[in-house]
Amino acid sequence: MKTVPASNRVPVALGDRSYEIVIQPGILSQLGQVLQRAGCAGRVGIVTNPVVNQLYGHPVQRALRQAGFSPFFIIVPDGEQAKTLKWLAKILDALVMQRVERQDFILALGGGVTGDVAGFAASTYLRGIPFVQVPTTLVAQVDSSVGGKTGVNHSQGKNLIGAFYQPKIVVVDPHVLKTLPSRQWIAGLAEVIKYGMIADKEFFKYLEQHVEGLRAQSDDVMPHIIRRCCEIKADVVTGDERESGRRRILNYGHTVGHALESWGNYRKWIHGEAVGLGMVQEASMAQYLGMCSKDVVERQDDLIKRVGLPNAIPKMKFLDLWQAMQHDKKVVKGDIHCVLPKRIGDVSVVPLVRDSLRKWFSIQQPSSSRATTGLRKSPSPSGSARKK
Ligand SMILES: NC(=O)c1ccc[n+]([C@@H]2O[C@H](COP(=O)([O-])OP(=O)(O)OC[C@H]3O[C@@H](n4cnc5c(N)ncnc54)[C@H](O)[C@@H]3O)[C@@H](O)[C@H]2O)c1
Ligand SMILES: [Zn+2]
């Protein structure tokens, strides 16, 4: 195997838990050698779901065997139902049955769901065994496989049980995204646009200029985009591994996004779509509060629309939105802390004041502050927000 060039590797510097994200089209066929070089050895339990297994199970197994590994599969269900204590227990059962030892490792092959549950299993089995991520959705490649958050859901809420646990290596093959359902693919682009908004105006401009390459998933565009997103996320999480400060900027679009997901009973929009809508709403709030210019809102709206994401929300009551926002994990002593844009590439965490938000909401739909459609433009900068 040729050495993977430095330009295709993103280091995540976390002291003795440091690791690399390797991004290269077609790298799946060399997976075994890449893992060998990363110091992986022994037996490997591949955690995956039936959809991804059908598409990539064989090639991955072959690549691992060629390098002398002895893989076995642990199949979890497709979808969020795999992120439960029940399936965590089943993965642990399989590891016990297979007599997996400390020098062996787990490989998560799939989207964010598979990565989250497999990583959590790796963190608890024998008090922690090595763990490798091979993310196969855009969300997993640019977001969930970076940063070390693992876990499962509880019936009372998402991601309530988990651990911070870093992988040994993340191996990203952009080619696997070609089989993603288009809705999943487009939803992932909301997180990509988010990185431009929170940290890098040049990257945002690059996205504006490469919508066609993005739509075509070109090999010239995709590796660059995935790498830049991973670099930004790695930069943010290495400064704040356990989410006490700067890491909060990654939640841009998520305060309203999570509220919309919950309001729509997690059926109306998939996560990335809700985040895209959340960014549209939060930028509009920022303009209303005098934090950013109209140009910022318009450029973001335009890009969101051009990549095919939904950008308008249906009728809803202010109180429903406000209450759903209260359930966000980032609420501190009743104050909703929201990440709002100042410029493209720069955001601030701001506590939102209910009255001010209500005014913003009513201006979106002058006839009523209780029901509104297509919340988009923010005509008048005023109101108050306590900036941090
Ligand atoms: N740990 C973190 O930091 C973090 C960050 C963001 C999201 N998450 C979590 O990630 C999950 C969402 O991840 P997701 O969006 O990847 O969803 P997912 O894992 O459910 O995958 C989406 C769908 O795509 C299918 N799929 C996966 N790869 C495919 C491929 N290459 N071709 C065809 N189909 C494929 C899956 O089977 C699934 O049906 C949520 O549970 C969320 O909480 C975690
Ligand atoms: Zn997200």
Three-state secondary structure call for residue 120: helix
For residues 140 and 221, membership in a common domain is answered with no
pTM of the model: 0.92
For residues 162 and 193, membership in a common domain is answered with no
Question: Is 58 known to be catalytic?
Answer: no
179 C-beta closer than 6 A to ligand 1: yes
For the stretch 124-154, what's the b/e string if a residue is b when 16 or more beta carbons lie within 10 angstroms of its beta carbon?
bbeeebbbbbbbbbbbbbbbbbbbbbbbbbe
The answer to whether 80 and 87 are in contact (CB under 8 A) is no
Q: What's the total number of domains in the chain?
A: 2
Q: What string of DSSP letters covers 283-334?
A: HHHHHHTTSS-HHHHHHHHHHHHHTT-------B-HHHHHHHHHTSTTEETT
For residues 346 and 387, membership in a common domain is answered with yes
149 C-beta closer than 6 A to ligand 1: yes
Question: Is 271 known to be catalytic?
Answer: yes
Output the tens digit of pLDDT for each of the chain's 388 residues.
557 788 899 999 988 899 999 999 999 999 999 999 999 999 999 999 999 999 999 999 999 999 999 999 999 999 999 999 999 999 999 999 999 999 999 999 999 999 999 999 999 999 999 999 999 999 999 999 999 999 999 998 889 999 999 999 999 999 999 999 999 999 999 999 999 999 999 999 999 999 999 999 999 999 999 999 999 999 999 876 566 678 899 999 999 999 999 899 889 999 999 999 999 999 999 999 999 999 999 999 999 999 999 998 888 889 888 888 887 665 556 678 899 999 999 999 999 988 888 999 988 765 544 433 344 433 333 333 333 3
Distance CA 230, CA 345 (A): 16
The answer to whether 53 and 78 are in contact (CB under 8 A) is no
Query: Which protein residue has the closest C-alpha to ligand 1 atom 22?
Result: 111
CA 261, 264, 269 angle in degrees (round to 5)? 60
For residues 269 and 385, membership in a common domain is answered with yes
Q: Locate 67 and state its tokens.
A: 């390098």
145 C-beta closer than 6 A to ligand 1: no
Three-state secondary structure call for residue 350: strand
Domain of 255 in residue numbering reads as: 181-388
Q: 318 CA to middle of ligand 2, Å?
A: 23
300 within domain boundaries: yes
1 within domain boundaries: no
51 within domain boundaries: yes
For residues 80 and 186, membership in a common domain is answered with no
For residues 346 and 255, membership in a common domain is answered with yes
Question: Is 370 known to be catalytic?
Answer: no
Question: Is 233 known to be catalytic?
Answer: yes
Distance CA 116, CA 271 (A): 15
For position 58, which CATH number holds?
3.40.50.1970
Q: Of ligand 1's atoms, which has the minimum distance to the CA of residue 270?
A: 15
180 C-beta closer than 6 A to ligand 1: yes
